[in-house]
Amino acid sequence: MNHVGYGSFATPQSFIKAVLELRPRIAAFDCDGTLWYGDSGMKFLYWEIEENLISKAAAVAILRRYDEYLAGKVSEDEMCGEMVQIHSGLPEKRIREFAERFVHTNVIPQIFPEMKELVSSLHEAGSDVWAVSSTNNWVIEAAVRTLDIPAQRVLAVGVEIEDGVATDKLGEMTSGPGKARALRRVLSQPLGVSFGNSIFDLDMLELAHTAFPVNPNDDLREIAEQRGWKFYQPALAKLTAPTL
């Protein structure tokens, strides 16, 4: 794996320039905390409960499980899967309509401007750009559409759809090591660059020729220092809250 020297990029321009100089054929981005500020999966859960997309019984059950997850009693993969499975029995068209509404007000305004510029520049340079997330595919597909990343280039947690209705049958788990496994499955060429903000992106970062932690939390920043990975801290994240 290549690296560009540990430390943080001083400006958005220097970060974008460093990425583009590599001329990557394929780029993979984590989404929550990397392309935009915050956890869209968690936010959507609370939002859809308030908007009555799921039943009250389902809401009580998933919130109990989320509390257990926060307490370390439920794994990351289990939680990510269950947050999608709660939509079992709902028409997918209705779920997507809610996801579109949510993204318009809760995600698009939080996209880091320099990450939007980077993705656009990669498109212009002919790079194949992928979005990889442990959040449900309905939210992620709606969110990255504004970055001109098509649904065919999204790897996110989803369930099987039968006759237009969501089931509880999980598809591929794109959380933690699952992100790298999913990319290996779909890519016919080596991954050039990858971007992530947390320990759950580590395998995807390691898969790439060059890794770029973005808005890294403390454990990923420590690993970046050990590996000699240079990281970037978006301006919006600096202004909004401490590093997660």
pLDDT band per the 50, 70, 90 thresholds, residue 235 = confident
In this prediction, what percent of the chain has a pLDDT beyond 90?
91
pLDDT 10s digits, 83-110: 999 999 999 999 999 999 999 999 999 9
pLDDT beyond 90 at 244: no
Q: Which residues contact 114 (CB under 8 A, 6 or more apart)?
A: 12, 15, 16, 232, 234, 235
Classify residue 33 by burial, with Cβ atoms within 10 Å: 0-12, 13-18, 19+: buried
**Helices 113-124 + 12-21 axis angle, to 10:** 30
Instruction: Give this prediction's pTM.
Output: 0.92
Instruction: Give the architecture-level CATH label for domain 7-240.
Output: 3-Layer(aba) Sandwich (3.40)
Beta bridge partner(s), residue 8 = 231
pLDDT 10s digits, 48-82: 999 999 999 999 999 999 999 999 999 999 999 99
Q: Where are the domains of the chain?
A: 7-240
Residue range 224-232: average pLDDT? 92
Q: What are φ and ψ of residue 213, in 5° steps?
A: -65, 135
State the DSSP H helix or E strand holding residue 7, giving kind and residue range, or none if neither. strand 7-8
